[in-house]
Amino acid sequence: MNKNITPIIDALFAAILYALSTPFSKLLLDKVSPTLLAGLLYLGAGIGMGIVKLIQPKHNHARPFVKKDALSIIAMILLDITAPILLLFGLRLTHPESVALLNNFEIVATALSAFFFFKEIISKRLGIAIALVTLASIVLSFEDLVSFKISWGALLVLLATLCWGLENNITRILSKNDPLKVVIIKGLGAGVGSLLIAFAIGEVQFNGLLWLYALLLGFVAYGLSIYFYVSAQRHLGAATTSAFYGVAPFVGALLSLMIFRQWPGYNFLIGLVLMVIGAYFAFNRHRNSKRLLEKNGR
């Protein structure tokens, strides 16, 4: 397979797998608290990818962890504890298809933090994408555009995407390491951390079957998804990987509409149109950059 295409496929595959998390997490939230579910999802990712690591043939292509990685690892875990808890509380308060679309704000958060902290260039097209996605997110943040009634669930989701946007760039620092090890550390660290919080606030109720469903969902939607995301980041960078990852909200919104069978409000439709146009500019940003590099013989 073309080496230039492989990381793009990894990013898209990561997006499709993550898209499963929104509708199925919404179903689980009827029986499981947000904090407990966040812990189980990440724990499922860590345990599942740990098993994959055991059966995968060993290779020495990745850079080993060093002492200076410790701060990045701690920051990554703390953000991964905070973000899913915010997301799941927001998901419990609002419609899953809107939450799925709001996840696209992660493009904005990732690109801006990449620009400010890592000096990545934001092209004109990506700038247009950021503006459109931001406008769409504002529209989706209102339950009713006429009365300007704010959706608190949507605001919590946006806060979660801000955390993940920063976390994406921190994870990029670690992307030269073995992606599997990064996901295992991320999953076990954030999973145990969230579970400890759930225990501390008395939100833990054991239900074997529901816990199993949550762990499996975490393995697929968080574990495998993050693994492919980190693999893509090694070649594309944080901002570009996030742009391709923008497919996830649309897949998640479609699945949510199919599963819950409820017609969305007009603010969702307006937000959807703006998100689609924004995603178009985000995708074309990478394609045009690639053409420019080929033209210059790089």
Quote the pTM value: 0.82
137, two tokens: 């997110």
Round to whole Å and give the CA distance between 149 and 97. Answer: 18
pLDDT at residue 61 in the model: 66
Query: One digit per residue, pLDDT tens: the chain, 298 residues?
Result: 455 678 888 888 888 998 999 999 999 999 999 999 999 999 999 999 999 888 876 655 667 788 888 999 999 999 999 999 999 999 999 889 889 888 888 878 888 888 887 777 777 888 888 888 889 888 888 776 655 577 889 999 999 999 999 998 888 788 778 878 888 999 999 999 999 999 999 988 888 899 999 999 999 998 898 888 878 877 777 667 767 777 888 888 889 989 988 777 788 888 889 888 887 787 665 554 444 333 333 3
pLDDT at residue 187 in the model: 93
Residue among 77, 149, 137 at smallest CA distance from 102: 137
Burial (Cβ within 10 Å: 0-12, 13-18, ≥19) of residue 53 = middle
Q: Which amino acid is at 122?
A: I
pLDDT at residue 83 in the model: 95
Give just the sign of the alpha carbon dihedral 125, 130, 135, 136. positive
CB pairs under 8 A, 24+ apart, for 52-56?
Answer: 52/180, 52/223, 52/227, 53/180, 53/181, 53/184, 56/180
